[in-house]
Amino acid sequence: MLAHALGRPASWLHAHARDPVPRLARRRFEGLLARRAGGEPLAYLTGRREFWSLDLEVTPAVLVPRPETEHLVEAALELVPSSAGARLADLGTGCGAIALALARERPGCRIIATDLSAAALALAASNAARLGIDNVEFRRGHWCAALGRERPALIVTNPPYVRAGDPHLQGDGVRFEPREALVAGTDGLDAIREVVSCAARHLAPQGRLLLEHGAAQREAVRRLLAEHHFSDIAHIRDYAGRDRVACARLAPA
């Protein structure tokens, strides 16, 4: 926050540890400190968050990308060979984190990034432009409806999966984030149910679905995938050892 208030990179502080802080920067810093103490996420205060080594702009219109979601990117890259020219989709892209990471790593692929929120999509598109990423197309719409007649080989998504009333929603940072990015009904599975069912209709035959879910949702997600004729269901753990991403393959046509 001090570096941000000074308009310098954080490394600058180490090289100038004994410099006095100019009055204006000090006032700015104290303002930021007060807002952070009130629970606002650091990323909303600086307007920036790094994800997959990409410097992303974030605003209170989008969820702050989480490091756990990089597991989903990693798993997607394992499924998509670096020479591939496939069509991929990221549903509920927020600031564009997943779509932009995949686009940067797989320049031969075309990625459709969707969201229901126009503000999120505008931010994601501006992140893409600033980073010089031009293989992502942004579309507004309710989950797979935004895909129209496209049949992607891979759908990735980090949908909202927190249950309404979960005390976690009152936690540090989280209470400033958009509800519609976090909350999905009384069991937290409303969005996952919709995504699994529409992905089964919109994926190419034998296409893959990769979705992030909550640590306690593994069995429910597995059941939903099996009910919609997905096979090869696997779960990927986060660094805390909890199953957080499900991967599954759609049956042949």
From the list ligand SAM, ligand GLN, none, partner contacted by residue 116 (C-beta under 5 to 8 A by kind): ligand SAM
Residues 6+ apart with CB under 8 A from 208: 79, 153, 154, 155, 247, 248, 249, 250
Q: Which of 41, 159, 188, 207 binds ligand SAM (CB under 6 A)?
A: 159
CA distance 30 to 36: 10
CA distance 133 to 137: 10
Q: How many residues bind ligand GLN (CB under 6 A)?
A: 8
User: Which residues within the stretch 163-182 sit at the binding site for ligand GLN (CB under 6 A)?
Assistant: 174, 182
Does 217 bind ligand SAM (CB under 6 A)? Our answer is no
Q: How open is the CA angle 196-151-76, to the nearest 5 degrees?
A: 65
209 and 181 in contact (C-beta within 8 Å)? Answer: no
| Cβ closest to ligand GLN, residue 90 vs residue 212 | 212
Does 93 bind ligand GLN (CB under 6 A)? Our answer is no
The H or E element that residue 25 is part of is helix 23-37
Return the bridge partners of 49, or none: 56
CA distance 38 to 45: 12
Does 214 bind ligand SAM (CB under 6 A)? Our answer is no
Shortest approach of ligand SAM to residue 14 CB, angstroms? Answer: 30
CA distance 82 to 80: 6
From the list ligand SAM, ligand GLN, none, partner contacted by residue 94 (C-beta under 5 to 8 A by kind): ligand SAM
Q: Which residue has the tokens 């997905």?
A: 230
Does 160 bind ligand SAM (CB under 6 A)? Our answer is yes
Q: Which of 65, 94, 96, 160 binds ligand GLN (CB under 6 A)?
A: 160
Q: Which residue has the tokens 């976690």?
A: 168
Closest CA to 237 of 52, 71, 67, 70: 71
Q: Which of 35, 66, 175, 218 binds ligand GLN (CB under 6 A)?
A: 66
The H or E element that residue 34 is part of is helix 23-37
User: Which residues within the stretch 87-106 sit at the binding site for ligand SAM (CB under 6 A)?
Assistant: 91-94, 97-98
Does 152 bind ligand SAM (CB under 6 A)? Our answer is no
User: Which residues within the stretch 117-136 sit at the binding site for ligand SAM (CB under 6 A)?
Assistant: 117, 120
Shortest approach of ligand SAM to residue 228 CB, angstroms? Answer: 18
Does 162 bind ligand SAM (CB under 6 A)? Our answer is no
Site residues (CB under 6 A) for ligand GLN? 66, 158, 160-162, 174, 182, 212
Site residues (CB under 6 A) for ligand SAM? 62-63, 65, 69, 91-94, 97-98, 114-117, 120, 142-143, 158-160, 180-181, 191
